[in-house]
Structure 1
């Protein structure tokens, strides 16, 4: 059972028998990899019984489920009521009639999947999400297509017959979806059956199709790696540099679109001047700080156990540990220190920040470990770090 995977364990299962170095050097963003190893622990991530429980007993807003059949998405009104509420009976009836049940971003509703995603985020430096597909026998959800993000496929039960086609000439951007009838899928390169316990990596831009195989329903998880590109980083660098280039804030010339001769001289010269200014004043460190802070803040909080700990109260001697896979950073200078983590920025005094940084680096702490003048600030900051999921208290 994969209850609390380490980053190495999570990635290792997906790419076995490759090492991380082999995977990132030879396969990542380049070519697909089918792992020949069958992993029994995949069944610990999600089961058919858990899917049954989610569909029958969980709150299901319209965005929590979708369906597809014979290569096409089903209209939402075929499995929802007129007010948008999911019609659970219609979902199951459509499944019985050959439609695939899709549970997008199920990690936000399932703790095991969420922890698995958090473990992978540190490996890829990118947001990670899951989409779950339950396909009835002798059916397929989608036709030949490519995804605009890299994916790992974890086959949990049943089997899928995979067809791998050619690659695009360049990696697609995130918003650059496959256009049926317009985009070339290339020639069929590989055909194989992915069985329960096996994993597959498919880079973005690699066309594929995966009809069901055999007489059992197929349950698989698609793990999406939502990378940020150098193009996005450079756009942020331009935006950040423009704060120090006043000319960047001026409106475009009124005759830019209408006076072609001037556009080739004066306006082109201004463009080159601004490009030179950006090259001179763009800051890698400032851009990195902005990207890093946004990445940390966007990570969903993991707060299991925090309510009980706060309800019981956290005493001076209570030992707290750092929760696995939670991202954070200390930011600011003298007199303006804060710790940034999912959903929050918590300010604190310089003295507390210095000691807290050291204690967190050691992996565990108690309030009694700190030598500070303001005990009220200490208690408030430590309790807030429990509330936002960075620190975990042992059950009393």
Structure 2
């Protein structure tokens, strides 16, 4: 997997969350292990979001049902309290509920806000995982949720106001993505530490660490929660099993008719077959093939960044127009069997698309993209039509942008 982005921008995004720790210190001592309250106030956090921006989103933006939710005193509000019968958000009811002590939640606001989206993209290479934002606006003397843990790691960036954070115990073993906290079942443990998160401060909380964060003081609290949506070794191994079974015909057979109703006479035979198939999977599973599948899916799932592409395509791209690789966009050059069953061909994979490349163009394009900036006139190819089409497609899908 590759991605031509300014490493300084990526580094700055991570530094704002963890400085004065270095990346090596954070990943060695805290990542997936324990929470980290960053003692440094980062004024640049205010550039990501503001109360005025939230006011604009609520008053002027399109608000489909999934774009907003609310919580109060540890419980989620019934959507009927702030939506019309059609399910559309009732903006007046949202603000009236907020006035009455409810927290406004804007899930995945990065999909509608360029600054937040760029910030998320800058972090994805550092964590090798999708990232997202949820935004919380809590009125004074209130709290949205009770004690709970999350099933993904989070960074909290305090934008305005303050929150009193309470850190409790850790779950026994990191939770999988679907293992949410159950209030009447899971023990959050004893209160370990309490502190105030001030504007410009950041906090890291690993998945499985129980916490609560009521508002502090007489001002509304606005914070961004950046979620790190990890993929686990368990998911990787399941993909490896699926990939290996393509080369094990017996895995396509149905289960024995009496497997569930066996009185014990054939149990040893079933167990022996299970063990034999597991051994064959271990023998034929391919790390490289599994990695290629995960990598390709990761790249394709990254949301496109298209600002400026429409203008560039409308104007047209001349031979000497210089193009640059857009910041933080992931891409990958992969080999794939040709449709005719002949020699393998190269394709470039990026968000939403896989573009086949000729043997002549592929190595040149790989080199030019790695350099970060180029013009079409710098290529030496016999098929100018292919070059024009590939470059135009890379602009359309957001990898390239005119300088």
The TM-score with structure 2 as length reference comes to 0.96
The alignment partner of 1:244 has SS state of coil
Q: Which residue of 2 aligns with 1:382?
A: 391
> What are the residue-to-residue correspondences of 1:366-377 with 2, within 5 Å?
366-377=375-386
What is the alpha-carbon root mean square deviation over aligned residues? 1.2
The alignment partner of 2:217 has SS state of coil
Q: Which residue of 1 aligns with 2:216?
A: 213
The alignment partner of 1:196 has SS state of coil
Q: Which residue of 2 aligns with 1:337?
A: 346
- 1:263, CA displacement in angstroms? 4.7
Q: Which residue of 2 aligns with 1:106?
A: 109
> What are the residue-to-residue correspondences of 1:69-218 with 2, within 5 Å?
69-218=72-221
- 1:262, CA displacement in angstroms? 3.3
Bigger drift between 331-340 and 376-385 goes to 331-340
Q: Is the 8 A contact 1:157 1:219 kept in 2?
A: yes
> For 1:172-199, what per-residue CA distance to the aligned partner results, in whole angstroms no more than 9, with x for missing partners?
0001111111001011001000000000
- 1:258, CA displacement in angstroms? 1.4
The answer to whether structure 1 residue 22 and structure 2 residue 25 are counterparts is yes
The answer to whether structure 1 residue 64 and structure 2 residue 46 are counterparts is no
Bigger drift between 261-270 and 347-356 goes to 261-270
- Which protein has greater RCO, CA pairs closer than 8 Å, 6+ apart? 2
Cα separation, 2, equivalents of 1:350 and 1:145:
54
Q: Which residue of 2 aligns with 1:34?
A: 37
- 1:346, CA displacement in angstroms? 1.1
> For 1:112-162, what per-residue CA distance to the aligned partner results, in whole angstroms no more than 9, with x for missing partners?
000000000000000000000000000000000000000000000000000
Q: Which residue of 1 aligns with 2:9?
A: 6
- 1:68, CA displacement in angstroms? 0.3
Q: Which residue of 2 aligns with 1:47?
A: 50
The alignment partner of 1:294 has SS state of helix
Q: Which residue of 1 aligns with 2:258?
A: 255
- 1:376, CA displacement in angstroms? 1.1
Cα separation, 1, equivalents of 2:266 and 2:182:
35
> For 1:19-74, what per-residue CA distance to the aligned partner results, in whole angstroms no more than 9, with x for missing partners?
00000001000000000000000000000100000111111100000000000000
Cα separation, 1, equivalents of 2:242 and 2:9:
37
Q: Is the 8 A contact 1:162 1:211 kept in 2?
A: yes
The alignment partner of 1:102 has SS state of strand
The alignment partner of 1:51 has SS state of helix
- 1:260, CA displacement in angstroms? 3.8
The alignment partner of 1:261 has SS state of coil
Q: Is the 8 A contact 1:100 1:134 kept in 2?
A: yes
Number of matched residues?
392
Cα separation, 2, equivalents of 1:324 and 1:286:
28
- 1:297, CA displacement in angstroms? 0.3
> What are the residue-to-residue correspondences of 1:340-359 with 2, within 5 Å?
340-359=349-368
Q: Which residue of 1 aligns with 2:339?
A: none
The alignment partner of 1:304 has SS state of coil
- 1:261, CA displacement in angstroms? 1.5
- 1:336, CA displacement in angstroms? 2.0
